[in-house]
Amino acid sequence: MGPEILARYSQVDLMDSLLELFANWERWSAEVNESHTTYPVLIQFRSARATRNWLVSLIAVLDAAALHLAFNPSLRQTQVRLALRAGFVCMRELADVRGIPYDPDPSPDGPLALEYGDFLQGVARMREQGVPMERSPEEAWPHFRGWRVNYEALAYRLAYDIEAVPAPWSGPRRRFEEVVTPTTPIDRRPAAR
pLDDT single digits (tens) 9-23: 766 557 788 889 999
Report if residue 142 sits inside a domain. yes
Q: Any idea what DSSP says for residue 5?
A: H
Average pLDDT for residues 58-68, to the nearest whole number? 95
pLDDT of residue 40: 84
179 by DSSP, 3-state: which? coil
- Asked if the structure places residue 33 within a domain, the reply is yes
Q: Is 180 part of a structural domain of the chain?
A: no
The answer to whether residue 181 is domain-embedded is no
Is 183 contained in some domain?
no
Phi/psi class of residue 169: alpha, beta or left (left: φ > 0; alpha: ψ in -120 to 50)?
A: left
Predicted local distance difference test score (pLDDT) of residue 41: 85
Distance CA 81, CA 97 (A): 24
Higher pLDDT, 67 or 179: 67
The predicted-structure confidence for 86-97, as pLDDT tens digits, reads as follows 999 999 999 999
With respect to residue 182, please indicate whether it lies within any of the assigned structural domains.
Answer: no
Report the share of the chain in percent with pLDDT over 70: 87
> Is residue 176's pLDDT more than 70?
no
Number of domains in the chain: 1
Amino acid identity of residue 137, one-letter, is: P
pLDDT of residue 42: 85
Could you tell me if residue 176 is inside a domain? no
Residue 63 lies in a domain: yes
User: Where in the sequence is the domain holding 25, given as residue range(s)?
Assistant: 2-162
Q: What is the pLDDT of residue 170?
A: 86
Q: Which residues contact 70 (CB under 8 A, 6 or more apart)?
A: 135, 140, 141, 143, 144, 147
Residue percentage of the chain with pLDDT more than 90: 56
3 confidence band (pLDDT: 50, 70, 90): confident
pTM: predicted TM-score of the whole model, two decimal places: 0.86
